[in-house]
Every structure is written in C-alpha cells, then in structure tokens.
Amino acid sequence: MPANPLNTDDFDGQLYDLRMSEKARPLFEAVKKFIAQEVEPMSEEFFRLGENREDRWSWAPGQLELLDGVKAKAKEQGLWNFFLPDAETGEGLSNLDYAYIAVELGKNRLASESLNCSAPDTGNMEVLERVGTPEQKKQWLEPLLNGEIRSCFGMTEPHMASSDARNISTQAVLDGDEWVINGEKYYISGAGDPRCKVMICMVKTNPDAAPHQQQSQILVPMDTPGLEIVGPMKVFGNDDAPHGHMHIRLKDVRVPKENVLLGEGRGFEISQLRLGPGRIHHCMRSIGAAEKALQMMVERGLSREAFGKPLVALGGNTEIISRARIEIEAMRMMVLRAAKAMDLMGNAEARVWVSAVKAMVPERVCQIIDQAIQMHGATGVSQWTPLPDMYHSQRTLRLADGPDEVHHMVVGRAEIARYAPYDVSDEHVDVGRN
Amino acid sequence: MPANPLNTDDFDGQLYDLRMSEKARPLFEAVKKFIAQEVEPMSEEFFRLGENREDRWSWAPGQLELLDGVKAKAKEQGLWNFFLPDAETGEGLSNLDYAYIAVELGKNRLASESLNCSAPDTGNMEVLERVGTPEQKKQWLEPLLNGEIRSCFGMTEPHMASSDARNISTQAVLDGDEWVINGEKYYISGAGDPRCKVMICMVKTNPDAAPHQQQSQILVPMDTPGLEIVGPMKVFGNDDAPHGHMHIRLKDVRVPKENVLLGEGRGFEISQLRLGPGRIHHCMRSIGAAEKALQMMVERGLSREAFGKPLVALGGNTEIISRARIEIEAMRMMVLRAAKAMDLMGNAEARVWVSAVKAMVPERVCQIIDQAIQMHGATGVSQWTPLPDMYHSQRTLRLADGPDEVHHMVVGRAEIARYAPYDVSDEHVDVGRN
Amino acid sequence: MPANPLNTDDFDGQLYDLRMSEKARPLFEAVKKFIAQEVEPMSEEFFRLGENREDRWSWAPGQLELLDGVKAKAKEQGLWNFFLPDAETGEGLSNLDYAYIAVELGKNRLASESLNCSAPDTGNMEVLERVGTPEQKKQWLEPLLNGEIRSCFGMTEPHMASSDARNISTQAVLDGDEWVINGEKYYISGAGDPRCKVMICMVKTNPDAAPHQQQSQILVPMDTPGLEIVGPMKVFGNDDAPHGHMHIRLKDVRVPKENVLLGEGRGFEISQLRLGPGRIHHCMRSIGAAEKALQMMVERGLSREAFGKPLVALGGNTEIISRARIEIEAMRMMVLRAAKAMDLMGNAEARVWVSAVKAMVPERVCQIIDQAIQMHGATGVSQWTPLPDMYHSQRTLRLADGPDEVHHMVVGRAEIARYAPYDVSDEHVDVGRN
Amino acid sequence: MPANPLNTDDFDGQLYDLRMSEKARPLFEAVKKFIAQEVEPMSEEFFRLGENREDRWSWAPGQLELLDGVKAKAKEQGLWNFFLPDAETGEGLSNLDYAYIAVELGKNRLASESLNCSAPDTGNMEVLERVGTPEQKKQWLEPLLNGEIRSCFGMTEPHMASSDARNISTQAVLDGDEWVINGEKYYISGAGDPRCKVMICMVKTNPDAAPHQQQSQILVPMDTPGLEIVGPMKVFGNDDAPHGHMHIRLKDVRVPKENVLLGEGRGFEISQLRLGPGRIHHCMRSIGAAEKALQMMVERGLSREAFGKPLVALGGNTEIISRARIEIEAMRMMVLRAAKAMDLMGNAEARVWVSAVKAMVPERVCQIIDQAIQMHGATGVSQWTPLPDMYHSQRTLRLADGPDEVHHMVVGRAEIARYAPYDVSDEHVDVGRN
C-alpha cells in the first residue's frame, strides 16, 4: 500500500518540523517593520486620493507616485521579489518561510504590491523564470521583476465548466510565423489596471492531441490588435476597479510564433510549475481573514447586551467562538504542513497537500465570517464593517483556482489510489492559475 | 402536559387542511393574470427609465406615472389592499389564502406595490386599521389605503442589540402637548422614497415601568424638523435606492401628544398585532427564491460538461439537488401550516408557528442559493446571474424581523414550557417589524 | 417543463388536504383504545415471560398463548388486516389514514402484530393479494391473513452492493418442473421466528435478459431441504431474537415451477407493488421515535442542573430543542403528503415522494436521538434509557429498504428530468423490500 | 490583548516543532516491534481462551498467565511504565513523544496493559507519584508500577449532571480517625476486573467551603465493607466484561483518615495534575480508529459495484473520502501540538489546548466511522465488521472526561478572555478523569 500521501513517514519526520527557519527570521521581522512604517501610512493617503477619481478604471493623480516611492524603498532595502522560492533571482525562501510572511502581507491591501509579491504577477514571474527564453525574460520578466509593469493570466472562459481544466475553447492557430488567437476569457484579474502590459493566455493549439497535450500558453501583449476588454466582471456586485476582473474577447489576435512558452502542447506542464506559493499565500491570507472575523465576533459580542447578558454568553455563541478558534488552528497547521511538503517534495509531488488546504480553508473561513456577521446583527451586512467584503472574497475563493469539488476529487482519488490503481485519466483536474 | 404548540389536535384536525379556499381561487387567478398582463410589461419600462436617473434617491421622470397607471387599474379591478386579513377594509382573505397569493407577488419586484400590498406599508396599515383613532385613520390610513403616500417603521437602532426587542434607546418625553423625541434609528426600509410621508417610531416613554411597558409607538411625519436622514445603510454593498434602508437621526423632534398609537407604554402590545401576514409573506417569497435557485442550479448543471459528463451527474451534485427539493417542499408545508394556524388561533397564539418558519426558512434558502452559485462557477458570483442579489436578500432576512437565534429561543422555550413552567420574562423577544 | 414531481397542482390542490378522513376516525379511535386496553397489559407479561427463556430462538411457554388471545380479540372486533389499502380483503384504508394509525401502532412493540399489521408480512400479503394465483393465495395468503403463520422476504445478499437492486446473485434454474435455487441471503428479518413458514425470495432467473427482466420472485417454504439458516445477523450487537435478521444459505433448494410469482423475469414489476404502506409506516414510526427522544431530551434537561442552571438553558441547548421540534413537524408534514400522493396517484407514480421521505426522515431522526443521548450524559448510552436501541434502529433504517443515497438519486433525477431527458437506465434503483 | 492561547509566539516558535525526539525513536521502534512480535500472537490466544468462560466477570483459566508472561518480558526489556512524563519513576518521555507511541498502543487492545500503560491506572499512578505520601506510594503505587494490581477512579455519579465537575454528591465525613463515605458512582471503568484493588474516589468533604474547595480525593480499597458493586453499566448494550464500567454504591464505607490524597478540600487541585497524557492518549487512539474506518471505507467502496461502478466513484463518495482524510490530518496536527504545548507549558497552562482536541476529535471521528458504516450497507451494522464497536467507543468519548459542550466552553471562554475579563467562577469545568 502506498503511503498516505498526506502523512508520509519519509523525510525522517521532517514534515513535522513547521518552524520558521532561522535564516528567514530577519526578513520576516524586516517585512513586518516595513509594512508598519512605510506601507501603512502610505496606504491611507493612497486610498483617500483614489476615492473620487474621475475614471474608475484609472489611477488618480498622485496615487502611483506614492506607491512607486514605497516600492523604491523596498527594493533598496532588499525587501523585494522574495516570493520566488529557491530561485536564482529571488530570495531563496522556502515555501514554509514564505507562508509565515504571507500572513503579514495579508494584513494590508498594498503590502504585497509594495514588495513586488502580488498576484497574478508572482505566478507569471515564476513561470517566466523557469521556462522563459532569454528573449522572453528580457522583454517581460525583467520589467516585472523591476515592478515597472504588471501582468495577467488568461485561463477561465465564460462558456466552459472551468472545473475541468482541459475545457479550453480559445483557439490559437499557426499562420506562418504568427499565432492567430480567437476566443473569450473572463475573470481575468488585474487586466483592468492600465499598467498591465501582458497576458499569459491558455489556448488550445492541438485539438487532436491527447487530452493533456492540446493546450499551450502564449504571451499576448495587452495592446495587441483584436484583444478587447469587453468590461468588468463583478464579484457579488463589486468590480474591484481599477485592478478589475475583466471580460476579454480575442478576435484574430496575432502574436509572433516565439511567444509560446516552453513549446506547443505543453500548457499543462507549465501549469504544474504554477502550483508554487500562490495557493499557500491565498490560504494564509484566508486564515488571516478568519482571525479578523473571530476578533470582530468576540468584540461585538462583548459590546452588546441582550436579555441582561453580553451576546457572547447567549445561546450557543460561546461554542461558536470555540469552534471558530479550533478550526483556525487546524487550518493553520494544515497550511504550514502543505508548505513544508512543497519544500521537501517539490510542487508537483505535494499537490495533494495543496489541494487539501485549498478544499478545506475557504469553505470554513466563509462560515466563520458568516457567524461574525450574525453576531453583528444588521450592522454585519452594512458598510460599517468589512465583513461583507471579506465574505465575498472568501466565497469567491471557493470557485477560483479550481472549485472545492475539484480539490476534493484530487484528495479523494489520491486516497483511493493507495488501495487500488485508479483510472487517472482525469488527474490533471487541478491546474494552477494563481 | 400542554399540547405540542406546533402540532395541536384541537380544531378537529383542521390544521391539516392546507388547501386554498374556493372563495380565494378567483382572486388568486385574477392576481396571476394581472401580474402577467399589466405588471410585467410595465416593469421592464419602469426599470429602464430608472437606469440613468440623475439623482439615485429620486424617481426618474415617467417612472411614477407608469406605476400609478397600473395601480389605478388594479384598484378598479378590485385587486387592491387584499393583504388585510379579515379586516373590514380589506378583502377578508385568510392568511393561508394570502400565502398562496404571496408566491405570485414574489415573482415580480413591482407586483406587491402595484396591488398596494407592499411592506412596510402593509404592517403599518394593519396597525392603523386596528388601533388608530378616527383622526389618525383619516390622516394616514386613508392615503395609505389609496396608495397615495408611503410609510416606514422605525424600530432598529445602531447601538443596541436588536435581538432583544426591549433594547430601545430612542427616548420620547412629554413636554406640554408634545412628545420630544431624541435618538437614532437605522435600516429604516422605504424611508429613502420621496413618497414616504410618515414613520411609526418605536420609542421609550416610560423607562421606569415594567420591561414590556416602557415603549410606545408614535406617528412621526417625515418632514418634522429635527428628523434627519443621515444616509443610506447598505446591504452587502447595495443601497436599494431610492427605496433605501436609511440611517435616521431624531434630534428634539416634536410631534403632538395624540400621535401616540393606542396609548403610552403600549408599544409592545401593538407589536403583537403586527405579526400578521408580513412574515408569512416573506417566507413564501423566500421559498420562491429557493425554487428559482434550484431551477438555475439544474439548468446550469445540465448546460455545462466536465470530465465528459454534465455537472449535475458529477460528484454529489444529484444529491445536492435532491436535498434542495426536499427542503423546499418541507418549508412550503411548514409555511402553509403556520398561515393556517394564524387563521385558526389568531396571530398571538400562533406566534410559535411563525417563529418556527422564520427560523427555518431563510437559513436553508441561503444554503440552496449558495449551492446554486457553486454550480455556476465564477459566473455564479457575477452580474450575469441574480444569484448574488438573491443571496444578499436571504442572508439579510436571517437578521431582520428578529435574528434566527431569537426565533429558535421562542420555539425552544415553548417546547420546554410543555414540561415545566418556564421563566417567561423574556417572552416578548419577538416583536413584529415587518 | 414537467410539473415538480413533489408539488403538483393537479388534483385541484387535494394534495394539500392532509386531514384524516371522517370514515377512518372510528377505526383510529378503536385502535388507540385497543392498544391501551388490550395490547399494553399483555405486552408487559409477554416480555417478562420471554426474559429468561432457555432457547433465545424459541418463544417461552405461554408467550404465544398470550399474543394469540389478543389477536383473537382484535379479529373479533374487526381491528385486523387494515394495512391493505383499498384491497378487497382489507379495510380499504387510504394511505393517509393508515399513516395516522401507524403513529399509534408505533407506540407499542406488539401493536402491529396484535392487529396483523406487522412487517414483513404486510408487504408479502400485499403482493400475494395482488399477483398470487388462487392456489398461492389458498396456501399462503389465507394463513397469513388469519395470523396463523408468519413469513419473510429474501432480498439482500452479503456479497453484493444492495444499493443497486439488480445486484442479485442468487440463481434459480428450471430443472424440469422445479426451480433449483442456489445462493446466499442475509438480514432476512423475521426468519428466526419458528412460526415463519415461507420466504418470498428474489432470484436471478434470466441472466441474459434486459437488466430489469432478469429477476423473479419465488415462494420458498422455510422447511425446504437445502435452505439453511446459517445464523443471526446482528444490528449494532443486537440479534433481535427470536424474530431475528437471519443469514440464510440456499443450496440446491428445489421448489415447484408454479411457485414463481406473476411470472419469470417479473421480479422488478412485483417490487413496484411493494412500495405500499410499508415505508410510510416506517417513517411515521421514526417520527414517533423522534418525538419520544425530544421529550426525553427536554425532561432530562430540566431535571439536571450544572453551573446553576437546568441543562436546557445552557449553551445551545434551547436551540437544539427548537431545531428538533421544527424538524419533526417538517417531517410529519412530508410523510403525510407522501401518503396522500400515494392515494391520489398510485404507488408507482408517487415513488419520488416516498423516496423523499425515506431519504429525509431516518437521517434526521438519528440526529435528534443523538442529541438526546448527549443531554443525558453517560446515562444516555446506558441500559437505563431506550436511547441506544432507538439510535440503532433508526441508523439501520438509513441502510434498509434502499440506502439514503439511492433515494436521493431517485429524487434528484426526477428533479433533473423536469429540464432534460435523463438517462433512466438506472431508474429502478429503488425496489421495495419493506 | 493576551496572546491567542492556542497559538502563542512564545517559546521561539518551538510549538511548531512537532517531530518525535531522537531520544524517543529507539523506544518507539522497540514498542512497535514488541507489539508485533509478542503482544499480537498472545492476544489471539488470550481472547480465544476468554470466549466461553463460565463467569463473564472473571478471567478464564490461562488468560492471566499468558498476559503476565508478556508483561514480564516487557519489564525485562525496559518497555514498561513509560507513560509517566518526565517522572523519576518513568521513562521521562515527553507528551509529544508519548503521543507518537500512543498511536501504536492503540492498534492492539492488549498493548497498553502489556506495557503497563493502560487507563485508568496511568492517571492513578501519575497522581500517586506526584502527591502520594511515602506510605501511599508503598501500598498502592508500587504494586501498580509493578503491574501486580489494577485500580479505578470514582468520579461520575448517576444523579448529577457531570458536565459540572463540582456536582459531587458522594459525601465523606470525618468520624474520629476515619472517613465515612456515602454515595453512588457509576461508569467506574475497570472496577469489574477481579484484579482491581483500589479506587481513587472523588467525594465532597467540605460542603461549606468555596465551590472548588469542597471536594477531596480519597483512596478506597475495593474490599472495604460497604462498597458494593451494584452491577455493570452498559455502553450501547455492551458491558465490556470483565473490565467493566461498574455501578458502585458506597454505604458507610470507612477508610483511615490518612487515605485522603494531598489534603482535605484539594480534590480539584489534584484533578489539574491528572490532565496529563490521558486525553492525548485517547485522542491519538481516536485518530487511529478514524484511520481504520477510512481504510475500511475505501476498501469496501472498491470491492463492491453498483450501477456499473465501484462505490467509491458513486455520488459524493470520493468527496466523503477526501473530507475524512483532511479531517484526520487536521486532527493529528492538533493533537501533536497539544502534546507539545503540555511539554512546553505544563499541563495546567496547556489545558485549553487539550480541551480543543477533546472537543474536536471524538465528534469528527464518530462521523467518519458513521460514513464507513454507510459505505458497507447492512454489513456495516453487523458483527462482521468492528465498525459498530468503534462507533460506540467514540460516541461514548464525547461524554467521557467532560462532554464536548464543556470543552467548547473552556476554549470559547479562553478566547473571549483575550478581550475582556471573563467571569471565571466556572473555570474548573474541566476536571481530569482519564
């Protein structure tokens, strides 16, 4: 019987050492300090400036200057690009160490970008770093690593069930020295930002090949003729401008043949690389959101009385608080262990662990935020608390980067495969798109 | 042992006759026809006109003319004010019959108002009808019954836990012949509509009386000096303009002594009357929303394929659909029985039944809508489906008109009281504010 | 779109008239009185006599005499065989009326048998009544209707997943004028009783026919050579002797050709008939168990104090009680409506309704009993309360007569079929074996 | 704000190092080997011998000889008494290391006793080791450490809600040089074993003292006149003879004054010591049970087909398997961390962590076993699988050593106390009785 994929005894029990490394501690402390001293004061001003801007899809005068100032300081202090695990161009942080730092990044909405560690650029840079040609690196990776441009990732399509990652209908056909791309993509995060200059686009190039060799990933500059941003997709009514989650149409979009990454038909292979820090990052931020919701739940429950008692002491509320705390700690341990597994086994081998936390975390965090809303009464659904936005984000995560159901399929099948060979023709259900 | 309050054998088993009455069937059919033939065509035009209006908090030119035209026709055809159960001014519909009609009203957003059956006017009219003085009826009930003005109900306060209905901090003090009112209210639905002319306001008049005799309900014209609309409260980011859920401040607001309803200290007593069709109406509409979500869930699940199968056939989806159907039918039967109980026992006696459905329905409907979202993938949280709005409405219902917890307290205590006298000092936990 | 199979508007809304008929009321009252006056006093003596009997698999001297005495009285008073719906030999009770009576039968373990209404004889008699030849009726139906013998139904097999009712490996081969049967059956309820004289046995006769025409049902006298009772199957450790749930081996068992019911290959067709009152009966008894558990939960919660309060008032206990009450009422309404649907549509058409309650009821009743156990502390798992036995029975019901999953499949597919033709090759997932 | 009690940053992150120590590994390996080579072969014979013994409450001839033989070998090899954490008489194992070993002990029903590490002796020995007088140690601890006698712990009472640990009605009154004890205890595990020679009995000695200083713990030899074993308490019908969970009556039981442990009124203080490895041990064994249930679920689901597929691939079964695996891993991490917390903070400080896992683990393990039952169909409730027994054990754990509700109260209040002083008059809700 193969080992339990989520609890292997290999590695001499090292999977159970979940401490931050000594090496990472100075960086961890420096990041905390930098966020407190530089990012936070800037953030307030940044959002104030943006409040009444004329065009929701542009930045207001002064906003980017502020942000760029802080980015320059970060670069100076070496707090830059450390998301790249064990990469020559990065800090060489382990996933476990990065997980601890991700908690801090999750506390301020501008922290990630200030340190050039924000999605979806992180995933794109990681891919370019690993499979890009020298020319591709020069043209796109360099300005991304410098924080000069931003990028997006074109995966999800409006007319296909994206739970099956092979469901790509956007076609790219070679015409001479150019790919001609036709199709539609939606929920392309970051594509609304005027600084977004390039999309890595998942397309179908080889419809007659084996199911997992039909797709390719191609670099498409955002200003290519035929690439049209149809409009913003909303998330529970919110368009997240100017970052945005855009609906994009590609009509006879032509890019040079050499814009394909790694090679024709290797789109899935690249996705395996993309399983890096992105999901761990997301999950650690989700846990941060759950912590905040629990704190708000308790504080509200202590500040309001009904029937002569604080709300926390009424009915099942103490038990609700207890269960939230227990869930949060369990999730934290699972995410740290998944990060450690990636460090020890590599991203591909550790994907069952990553799926386990992706399936576990957002669902439970949604429930904790929902309970915090309930404790707040009508205020809980109002603009007076961040809870509605927090709920929307976490609820959306249950669909993004593979819906819960797909990740449960990955974990369940890995378990079943311990006892019997399992028909794994669908094994690539889980492609990275962080 | 007292009878099970939710399953009494009195009334010769009549509680189990949940058929619509023969008498109501013609009205039921006429309402369905009127909505299809008059309300629906008008609605489309109505909302189109409102789309780009300059002031979100006014109606666009032409909107009210359209609506008033349909209202005039409804009045002509006798499809008017039938919400009032067994009242001299109403149709004398039973709650059970009204429940069947409420399903139809729930299918179009303008149906209720077109037939002068929309909240919160319905509850206000019911109260005025039963406890108003001839002068109060003349001044406020008459124009309300004619559909000439609208009204609101001022119950919830921002700084008190509203699960305990005695938590009223807004004070009214008698100064000569006038009440002087000071306090703050929020989530006052309908107060944003320029046609809203009067608020029934729950205030504390007798702080030294017994806990349930401290409150009064007072009629406050919206244009009284000192009544300030601070701004809209949002519901998951939505302000529902121009109807609105307003935040209102009352500062030295003066109204004549005779504006008190029924009498000083009798605020709770009035609330008992207000338990009428409102909640049944809400719950039947919630069931309508669940039906719609289930339909969307199945249709989407049939229209998308993954791993070679329609989504409905993947994983636990068929079981999710089955459970949704079973829940919907169970809720429907419970709501109909609660309506029947109100008809047989009166609103006050049947309040355990009403609490049972109020605690049961919105929670489960939220879950069904959530599962419909999941079946839609990213589209489920987008502006391309009504699911986000539907979720927001139902989630908010778990807080409005008494949070779930309070209604479970009512039901649980009624059950316990069958076996032992229960300290009922908190029994008025559930006041109507429909 | 076909009508919602669980909520059709046909029948002029008669599905919503869930009252007991006037005609049935005298029988209902007579049954209640008979159980109180005759069955209950006898029961105590009956079980006392059985306590220390030498052979667990026989009745103690005097036991059957007691029971037969009461049966004779019941027959005399016409309280006999009324389970048969609309049958010439029965009382002609509707399923709805029988559902009300079933609640009363469920209150005493000997009530059903005292009135000759106990499973699995009821299902067997119903089948014989409808499809038996005159000879079969004479030999087996007559003594069963007279309460002279008992019978069993041989469906489930130890080596097949019984969720798929076509999974029958017991073979019957025609050899001249005789069927030769080989195979194994288990959980054959009632086969331990020395009075059990015949089994209706589901066998595979036509392995090459279409999937649903391979099976037949054959009458097998219990004393046929080759039929061996291997031993009792236990249910959570309990063998329910001498009734028993037996493990039976059939080795070259020979019965006359004419023992087949209805005809070769028609085993499934017969099962459709068997969907009669059995499951409604079970579900009404389950609801009775839930009522008893709720009563015990409240009484215990009032009689014990901790931290200065009765347990009912601690933590989430009041809400647990409320939810139990709401669930019980919802289940009751659903079961009554399923019974009514059978009356209006016939058993076959109403099978979606029956599956809905079979999937809904035992699962929730298990939960209510489990919560009652928790309220009792250690006593809840002890021999001092009936709760452990009640839990075992209800838990087993989630597997018997089709596991929950199969019934959800029936309901889910019926819902899906409203929107699209559904591949119904598995539609016979739900065979009766009540 | 005090640190999150379940996630403190003190100890330099050492709480996240959950590896077994290098020092413990040889013992861990030796225990595994000893169980495989010595305990397992003996066990089979041991239970075979016990099968048809005449008196269920005695051991059959030869049983104890077998067991004693293996115990002697274990003692010889130094595999003995290692349960005592950091004690002079024990192996000095940390709680974390013991947790790893507990998993192995949990795999064979005689493993713990073979190595003299079985409850409730372990808790009793720990208490005697820490607070016993030299005389008490000589008389009781020595033979216990030698495995010559066994013992029991008298905590739970039939007529009090044991969720409140102060609910002790058994009284001990000093009469000259003797305590005179009167009262009733039940579910006294191990008291049925003829080798059980002494009970540590929780009694009320100072009814007028502060609530937590009213109780004392007194050593009561089992053969003291007046101590009567009324009979066995069953657990879901099982009496677990001859170990047993006995119902004991104490009537004018007289023991010397010096039999009190630590001192009059210090019963609660002792309980704090008793929080040691017992619960961690239980929880690790529960996780072992969940692992076994999951394995059985998958193996059964692969070995049975329905509708043309193995059961594992039908409906939501793959997701059920995934969720079980995720839960198991989350529980494992939480238990290991609680053990580590005990090592770093001491038992008293770490009690919130212990409550967290006690509240979390048995509830979820019950659910996993229940799902394994469902996958087995009728066989799942039969004597052909250990699943019914496993369910019973785990379900009982939700009541033993403090019901779930009490542990959630401990965790919830600790969380609330981070934000506001909490009335902690009930803080001793959680007394050890492992």
pLDDT digits (tens, 9 = 90+) for C166-192: 889 999 999 999 999 999 999 999 999
pLDDT score of D153 more than 50: yes
Report pLDDT digits (tens) over D194-250.
999 999 999 999 999 998 899 999 999 999 999 999 999 999 999 999 999 999 999
Mean pLDDT score of chain D, rounded to an integer? 90
Distance from CA of C139 to the nearest CA of D (A): 32
Cβ of C164 within 8 Å of Cβ of D305? The answer is yes
Cβ of B383 within 8 Å of Cβ of A237? The answer is yes
Report pLDDT digits (tens) over A377-395.
999 999 999 999 999 999 9
Return d(Cα B11, Cα B14) in angstroms, integer: 5
Helix (H) or strand (E) holding C271: helix C267-273
- Chain A residues close to D403, C-beta within 8 Å: none
So what's the pLDDT on residue D424?
Answer: 40
Residue in the structure block whose two tokens are 């970008």: A113
Distance from CA of C388 to the nearest CA of A (A): 26
So what's the pLDDT on residue D423?
Answer: 56
Report pLDDT digits (tens) over B121-132.
999 998 999 899
What single string gives the DSSP state of each residue in A83-132? TSBT-TTS--B-HHHHHHHHHHHTTSTTHHHHTT--TTHHHHHHHHHHH-
* pTM tops 0.80: yes
Cβ of C302 within 8 Å of Cβ of B6? The answer is no
- Give percent of chain A above pLDDT 70: 93
Return d(Cα A117, Cα A112) in angstroms, integer: 5
Residues paired with residue D185 on neighbouring β-strands, in sequence order: D248
Pick from C315, C318, C319: which is nearest to A318 by CB?
Answer: C315
- Chain B residues close to D312, C-beta within 8 Å: none
Pick from A20, A318, A330: which is nearest to D334 by CB?
Answer: A330
CB B335 within 8 A of CB B361: yes
- Chain A residues close to B413, C-beta within 8 Å: none
Amino acid, single-letter form, for residue D13 = G
The mean pLDDT of B416-427, rounded to a whole number, is: 68
- Chain A residues close to C316, C-beta within 8 Å: 315-316, 319
- Chain C residues close to A315, C-beta within 8 Å: 315-316, 318-319
Mean pLDDT score of chain C, rounded to an integer? 90
Mean pLDDT score of chain A, rounded to an integer? 90
Find, in chain B, the residue whose alpha carbon is nearest to that of C321: B412
- Chain D residues close to C374, C-beta within 8 Å: 398-399, 403-405
Confidence at B346, pLDDT banded by 50, 70, 90? confident
Report pLDDT digits (tens) over A121-137.
999 998 999 899 999 99
Distance from CA of A364 to the nearest CA of B (A): 14
Rounded to the nearest angstrom, the gap between the alpha carbon of residue B345 and the centroid of all alpha carbons in its chain is 21
The mean pLDDT of A308-329, rounded to a whole number, is: 95
So what's the pLDDT on residue C229?
Answer: 97
Cβ of A319 within 8 Å of Cβ of C318? The answer is no
Confidence at C135, pLDDT banded by 50, 70, 90? very high
Report pLDDT digits (tens) over C79-107.
999 887 655 554 578 899 999 998 888 88
So what's the pLDDT on residue C431?
Answer: 35
CB C82 within 8 A of CB C102: no
- Chain C residues close to B410, C-beta within 8 Å: 322
Cβ of B233 within 8 Å of Cβ of A161? The answer is no
pLDDT score of C112 more than 90: yes
Residues paired with residue B171 on neighbouring β-strands, in sequence order: B182, B204
Write out the two tokens for A177.
């020295």
So what's the pLDDT on residue D107?
Answer: 82
pLDDT score of B423 more than 90: no
The mean pLDDT of C59-84, rounded to a whole number, is: 94
So what's the pLDDT on residue A434?
Answer: 35
Report pLDDT digits (tens) over B170-200.
999 999 999 999 999 999 999 999 999 999 9
Residue A107 CB neighbour total at 10 angstroms: 16
Confidence at A10, pLDDT banded by 50, 70, 90? low
Cβ of C322 within 8 Å of Cβ of B294? The answer is no
Mean pLDDT score of chain B, rounded to an integer? 90
Return d(Cα A218, Cα B75) in angstroms, integer: 64
Confidence at B169, pLDDT banded by 50, 70, 90? very high
CATH class of C11-118: mainly alpha
CB A222 within 8 A of CB A209: no
So what's the pLDDT on residue B319?
Answer: 97
CA dihedral D411, D413, D418, D421 (to 10 degrees): -160
User: How many residue pairs bridge chain A and chain B with CB atoms within 8 Å of each other?
Assistant: 134
User: Would you mind telling me the total number of residues written for chain C in this entry?
Assistant: 434
Confidence at A161, pLDDT banded by 50, 70, 90? confident
CATH architecture of D151-266: Beta Barrel (2.40)
User: Would you mind telling me the total number of residues written for chain B in this entry?
Assistant: 434
Using CA of residue D387, residue D393, residue D396, residue D398, what is the dihedral sign? negative
Q: Report the neighbours of D using a cutoff of 3 or more CB pairs below 8 angstroms.
A: A, B, C
CB B407 within 8 A of CB B430: yes
Distance from CA of D15 to the nearest CA of B (A): 37
Q: Report the neighbours of C using a cutoff of 3 or more CB pairs below 8 angstroms.
A: A, B, D
Q: Cis omega (within 30 of 0) on the bond before C41?
A: no
Q: Residue C76: is it exposed, middle or buried by C-beta count within 10 angstroms (0-12/13-18/19+)? A: exposed
Find, in chain C, the residue whose alpha carbon is nearest to that of B356: C326
Distance from CA of A330 to the nearest CA of D (A): 5
Q: Cis omega (within 30 of 0) on the bond before B242?
A: yes
The mean pLDDT of C338-367, rounded to a whole number, is: 92
Strand pairing class (C305-306; C309-310): antiparallel
Cβ of B405 within 8 Å of Cβ of A373? The answer is no
Pick from C312, C332, C407: which is nearest to B416 by CB?
Answer: C312
First to last CA, chain A: 33
Find, in chain D, the residue whose alpha carbon is nearest to that of A318: D412
Return d(Cα B234, Cα B236) in angstroms, integer: 6
Cβ of A236 within 8 Å of Cβ of B237? The answer is yes
Within chain A, what is the greatest distance between any pair of CA atoms? 79
> How much is the ipTM here?
0.92
So what's the pLDDT on residue B349?
Answer: 82
HEC profile for C155-209?
CCCCCCCCCCCCCCCCEEEEECCEEEEEEEEEEEECCCCCCEEEEEEEEECCCCC
Return d(Cα C432, Cα C209) in angstroms, integer: 21
Cβ of B325 within 8 Å of Cβ of C405? The answer is no
Q: A87-96, C171-180, D162-171: which range is least confident on average?
A: A87-96
So what's the pLDDT on residue B430?
Answer: 39
pLDDT score of C287 more than 60: yes
Cβ of A13 within 8 Å of Cβ of D20? The answer is yes
Rounded to the nearest angstrom, the gap between the alpha carbon of residue B399 and the centroid of all alpha carbons in its chain is 12
So what's the pLDDT on residue B424?
Answer: 40
Cβ of D408 within 8 Å of Cβ of A294? The answer is no
- Chain B residues close to C297, C-beta within 8 Å: none
Report pLDDT digits (tens) over D85-133.
655 554 578 899 999 998 888 888 899 999 999 989 999 998 999 899 9
A274-283: b or e for each residue (b if 16 or more CB lie within 10 Å)? Answer: bbbbbbbbbb
Pick from B162, B234, B396: which is nearest to A383 by CB?
Answer: B234
pLDDT score of B432 more than 50: no
So what's the pLDDT on residue A307?
Answer: 87
Find, in chain B, the residue whose alpha carbon is nearest to that of A312: B161
- Give percent of chain D above pLDDT 70: 93
The mean pLDDT of C14-30, rounded to a whole number, is: 92
Pick from A315, A318, A319: which is nearest to C318 by CB?
Answer: A315
Domain ranges of chain C: 11-118, 151-265, 275-429
Among residues D106, D107, D108, D202, the alpha carbon closest in space to that of D152 is found at D202
Return d(Cα D37, Cα B91) in angstroms, integer: 86
Write out the two tokens for C50.
């059985």
- In whole angstroms, how far apart are CA C39 and each of C53, C68, C79, C278? 21, 11, 12, 22
Strand pairing class (C150-154; C196-204): parallel
CATH 1.20.140.10 fits C275-429, yes or no: yes
CATH of domain A150-265: 2.40.110.10
Distance from CA of C238 to the nearest CA of B (A): 31
pLDDT score of D2 more than 80: no
First to last CA, chain C: 33
Tell me whether the CATH fold assigned to D11-118 matches the one assigned to D275-429: no
pLDDT score of C365 more than 50: yes
The residues on B that touch D, with CB distances below 8 Å, are 315-316, 318-319
CATH fold, domain B151-265, is Butyryl-CoA Dehydrogenase, subunit A; domain 2 (2.40.110)
pLDDT score of C1 more than 90: no
Confidence at C430, pLDDT banded by 50, 70, 90? very low
Q: Residue D361: is it exposed, middle or buried by C-beta count within 10 angstroms (0-12/13-18/19+)? A: buried
Q: A22-36, B388-402, C122-136, D11-25: which range is least confident on average?
A: D11-25
Find, in chain B, the residue whose alpha carbon is nearest to that of D312: B315
